[in-house]
Structure 1
Amino acid sequence: MGDNRLISVEIDDETLGASGPDAEHERRVAIFDLIEENSFALSDHDKGPYVLSLSQVDRKLVFAIHDESGTDVHTFILSMGPFRGVIRDYFMICDSYYDAIRTQTSHQIEAIDMARRGIHNEGSELLAERLEGKVTVDFQTSRRLFTLICALHAGNTR
């Protein structure tokens, strides 16, 4: 793997504490998937790999990026306002999907799952746009980061 990648993600429990064991599990899985495979290149720095520390200030997500030795490399703040509708829709369709698994036909479940993936893709594309000029990510990394953002906000928006 190249140097333009994340090797660790840290979550500030003071500002983004999990709302319970299920939320904590979702976060761990999202972080594992992200670390397992990602492409994360800073626009103004080429000396990765990187550690990403996430926290929240005034309902905004703070991305603090460090190198392997812990030296600060870059910090930026991402407003969550543009994501609220997509995240809300994503949680609603996920709830519908889990309900459908218990009562619907496989064709109905498949249709709901396609809609769920479409909303997830929409959130991933929005994230990549909002990161533009700061961080370059591929589509799969953007999807994994969006999954993590949803997991971080699971207790706050449902």
Structure 2
Amino acid sequence: MNAKGAHRLCDVILDETIGRSTPDVEHERAVAIFDLIEENSFEPVGHAGGPYKLYLSLVDSKLVFSIKTETGDDVATHILSLTPFRRIIKDYFMICESYYEAIRSSTPSQIEAIDMGRRGIHNEGSQTLMDRLEGKIRIDFDTARRLFTLVCVLYWRG
């Protein structure tokens, strides 16, 4: 297996004890997981290589990244405070609600304007996630974007 193939996620499991959310949020979750598994760059610092399974959960208002190898061996667990994400996630969900509402009743140019704002906030959250994982897990920006979507889904349901 080449190095790129070794430093990737082969599965992502969200904490199911939190329950389900709205159909729009569940759709975002499903798409993010599918896209993430299809294409990602994920390298726990100091580990020889995967592929990896990532278990994402919320415990006591903290984000938990539990990483295992494809065969189930423990690699690392990283616990991140949600505090740096709270405002971004709140803003993201407010603009997502506007976006889903706009899809039903607004003009294409209004939808496009809202979507540009949504992408901007999403990029900010993705960069914050990359910054918070620095020195723990190396990820590229596209991987960070998909992971940030999943963080939002967990946060929204939690």
- So what's the TM-score if we normalise by structure 1? 0.89
Counterparts of 1:97 and 1:13, CA distance in 2: 26
Counterparts of 2:111 and 2:27, CA distance in 1: 24
1:11 counterpart letter in structure 2 = L
Partner of 1:36: 38
- 1:14-93 aligned at under 5 Å gives the runs 14=17, 16-19=18-21, 23-93=25-95
Partner of 2:122: 120
Q: Describe the shift of the 1:50–1:116 C-alpha distance in structure 2 as closer, same or farther (beyond 3 A).
A: same
Partner of 2:135: 133
Q: Count how many residue pairs are aligned between Structure 1 and Structure 2.
A: 155
Q: Describe the shift of the 1:104–1:24 C-alpha distance in structure 2 as closer, same or farther (beyond 3 A).
A: closer
User: Do 1:94 and 1:116's aligned partners in 2 also have CA atoms closer than 8 Å?
Assistant: yes
Is there any run of 5+ residues in structure 2 with no aligned partner, and where?
A: none
| 1:9 corresponds to which of 12, 17, 23 | 12
Alpha-carbon deviation of 1:13?
2.1
Counterparts of 1:118 and 1:80, CA distance in 2: 19
Alpha-carbon deviation of 1:152?
1.7
User: Do 2:14 and 2:55's aligned partners in 1 also have CA atoms closer than 8 Å?
Assistant: yes
Partner of 2:98: 96
Counterparts of 2:155 and 2:48, CA distance in 1: 30
Q: Describe the shift of the 1:52–1:99 C-alpha distance in structure 2 as closer, same or farther (beyond 3 A).
A: same
Alpha-carbon deviation of 1:101?
2.2
Counterparts of 1:57 and 1:105, CA distance in 2: 41
Deviations 1:100-129 (A, max 9, x none): 223322222111111111001010000000
| 1:143 corresponds to which of 114, 126, 145 | 145
1:98 counterpart letter in structure 2 = Y
Is there any run of 5+ residues in structure 1 with no aligned partner, and where?
A: none
Alpha-carbon deviation of 1:46?
2.0
Counterparts of 1:111 and 1:23, CA distance in 2: 21
Alpha-carbon deviation of 1:23?
4.4
Deviations 1:57-83 (A, max 9, x none): 111111111111111011110111111
Counterparts of 2:72 and 2:34, CA distance in 1: 20
Let me know the Cα RMSD of the aligned residues. 1.7
Counterparts of 1:19 and 1:118, CA distance in 2: 24
